[in-house]
């Protein structure tokens, strides 16, 4: 008996024979157009080997290997698989996906999982790569203080704040996954984007639809919750150190108090983004607003209070400067979330996850993405005129703002053209690239010493 399974470029099953249904124990109607071929392999093998197999198949015409597979009932078996690339109508036309032909074999197959894969497994479970959205605003304020004078912030506080924000971000990621699985949101999502081999930087990363770590068997649902709680405790311990150092450096509880309040708001937003009864991600735009605030102005303001060597008086020019510095980066972070809602539209609508793309529809929602980009450019102009020095202002006006305008135009054009197509994945990836590029340029300019 042979199993023949055909999938598209993202691994979504498009066809299979009776042998595949019998071998893996699935009803074809629960697979075709619904599941990806990754569910047939142990999660660690998927992370370590599958992209390499596909790359070899593309380069040589086929890849043959022995591996372990998983049936629907959880039992495993050993098999030989031949993977070949598929094309629309001959090799001169674009590749459409892959064909896998599998035979059960009666021999031991032991695929050794290396240390690198175990590290990648942790990255996949926690989605730690996306923590850069939280860390860039922290570094941004450090660069801002370094650029305007000496001894304005504590390097130890900055270090602890970095770890504290990281722990709380991972806490949020893990609980978001936990609740999305619990509420059936991930199960209903069959159209999510995976970067696959479309990105050398984000290779294999989940862009939408959660981490899929539970689905791949990388961690249990209970394990996800336990790990989230561990991150929360680590975050609390780090926060205690930050508050103590703030009091020690300033001789006042003012900075510590405001930093603690903002941190509490961030933790509550992170938890209730997907947790009932609030579930901000389903509240008709409150999810997007909370992401903008949490990854923009509130985070830069909270960092300012946490790392400053002197007391920051609320509602002074310094207070508003730190707040405003977070606006452009918060808007661009929101656009990452926003464009990743497009592939999740159908499933999110089905389960009542009423974010703005569901509320307004894919076509109309394009203007929200464009508006966020425009507001980011406008805020940069205000910053260049009111906050930074003359040299930095020139770099804003003649470098950072033009780069932001041109890259935004590219992204907006792609979204307007491919908003209802799988080709949109290119612009999901580049929205992340742009956020990274913008953040580095923003920080470098602000750190320009006078």
pLDDT in tens, 54-65: 999 999 999 999
Please report the pLDDT score of residue 437 as a whole number.
Answer: 97
Within-domain flag for 252: yes
User: Is a pLDDT exceeding 60 seen at residue 449?
Assistant: no
- Residue 117 neighbours by CB under 8 Å, 6+ apart: 44, 47, 48
CA angle 204, 233, 240 (to 5 degrees): 120
What phi, psi does 78 have (nearest 5°)? -100, 145
Among 137, 218, 204, smallest CA distance to 174 is for 218
Rounded mean pLDDT, 205-234: 91
Q: What's the rounded Cα separation, in Å, for the pair 337 and 368?
A: 12
* Domain C-terminal end among 41, 72, 104: 104
Rounded mean pLDDT, 74-84: 94
Within-domain flag for 198: yes
Long-range contacts of 83-87 (CB under 8 A, 24+ apart): 83/53, 83/54, 83/57, 84/57, 85/57, 85/58, 85/61, 86/6
Whether residues 288 and 207 share a domain: the answer is yes
Whether residues 230 and 347 share a domain: the answer is yes
* Domain C-terminal end among 79, 104, 129: 104
- Which range of residues forms the domain containing residue 297? 119-446
Record the pTM.
0.91
Eight-state DSSP code of residue 152: -
User: Is a pLDDT exceeding 80 seen at residue 89?
Assistant: no
- Number of domains forming the structure of the chain: 2
Within-domain flag for 109: no
Question: What band does 450 get if pLDDT is binned at 50, 70 and 90?
Answer: very low
Please report the pLDDT score of residue 91 as a whole number.
Answer: 64
pLDDT (tens digit, 9 = 90+) per residue, 255-275? Answer: 999 999 999 999 999 999 999
Report the mean per-residue pLDDT for the chain.
92
Within-domain flag for 114: no
User: Is a pLDDT exceeding 80 seen at residue 293?
Assistant: yes
Least confident of 42-46, 217-221, 349-353, 380-384: 349-353
Question: What band does 26 get if pLDDT is binned at 50, 70 and 90?
Answer: very high
pLDDT (tens digit, 9 = 90+) per residue, 110-119? Answer: 889 999 899 9
User: Is a pLDDT exceeding 70 seen at residue 441?
Assistant: yes
């Amino acid at each position: 008996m042979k199993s023949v399974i055909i999938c598209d470029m993202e691994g979504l099953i498009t066809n299979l024979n009776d042998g595949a249904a019998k071998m893996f124990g699935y009803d074809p109607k629960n697979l075709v157009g619904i599941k990806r071929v990754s569910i047939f392999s142990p999660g660690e093998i998927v992370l370590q080997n599958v992209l390499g197999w596909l790359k070899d198949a593309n380069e040589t015409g086929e890849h043959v290997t022995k591996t372990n597979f998983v049936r629907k009932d959880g039992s495993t078996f050993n098999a030989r698989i031949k993977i070949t690339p598929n094309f629309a109508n001959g090799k001169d036309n674009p590749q459409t996906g892959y064909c896998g032909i599998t035979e059960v074999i009666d021999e031991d197959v032991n695929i050794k999982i290396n240390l690198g894969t175990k590290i990648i497994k942790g990255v996949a479970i926690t989605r730690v790569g996306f923590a850069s959205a939280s860390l860039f605003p922290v570094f941004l304020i450090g660069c801002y203080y370094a650029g305007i004078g000496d001894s304005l912030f504590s390097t130890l506080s900055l270090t602890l704040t970095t770890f504290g924000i990281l722990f709380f971000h991972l806490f949020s990621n893990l609980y978001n996954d936990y609740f999305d699985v619990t509420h059936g949101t991930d199960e209903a999502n069959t159209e999510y984007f995976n970067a696959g081999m479309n990105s050398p930087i984000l290779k294999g990363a989940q862009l939408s639809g959660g981490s899929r770590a539970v689905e791949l068997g990388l961690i249990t649902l209970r394990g996800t919750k336990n790990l989230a709680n561990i991150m929360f405790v680590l975050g609390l311990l780090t926060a205690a150190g930050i508050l103590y150092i703030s009091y020690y450096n300033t001789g006042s509880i003012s900075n510590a108090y405001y930093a603690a309040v903002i941190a509490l708001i961030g933790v509550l937003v992170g938890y209730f983004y997907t947790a009932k009864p609030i579930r901000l991600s389903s509240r008709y735009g409150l999810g997007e607003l909370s992401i903008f605030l949490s990854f923009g102005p509130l985070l830069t303001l909270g960092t300012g209070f946490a790392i400053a060597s002197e007391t920051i008086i609320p509602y002074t020019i310094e207070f508003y400067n730190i707040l405003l510095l977070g606006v452009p980066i918060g808007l661009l972070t929101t656009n990452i979330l926003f464009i990743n809602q497009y592939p999740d539209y159908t499933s999110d609508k089905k389960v009542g996850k009423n974010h703005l793309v569901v509320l307004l529809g894919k076509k109309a929602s394009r203007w929200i993405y464009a508006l966020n980009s425009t507001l980011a450019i406008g805020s940069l102009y205000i910053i260049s005129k009111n906050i930074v020095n003359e040299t930095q202002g020139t770099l804003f006006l003649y470098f950072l703002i033009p780069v932001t305008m041109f890259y935004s135009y590219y992204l907006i054009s792609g979204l307007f053209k491919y908003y209802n197509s799988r080709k949109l994945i290119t612009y999901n990836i580049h929205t992340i690239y742009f956020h990274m590029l913008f953040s580095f340029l923003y920080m470098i300019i602000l750190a320009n010493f006078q």
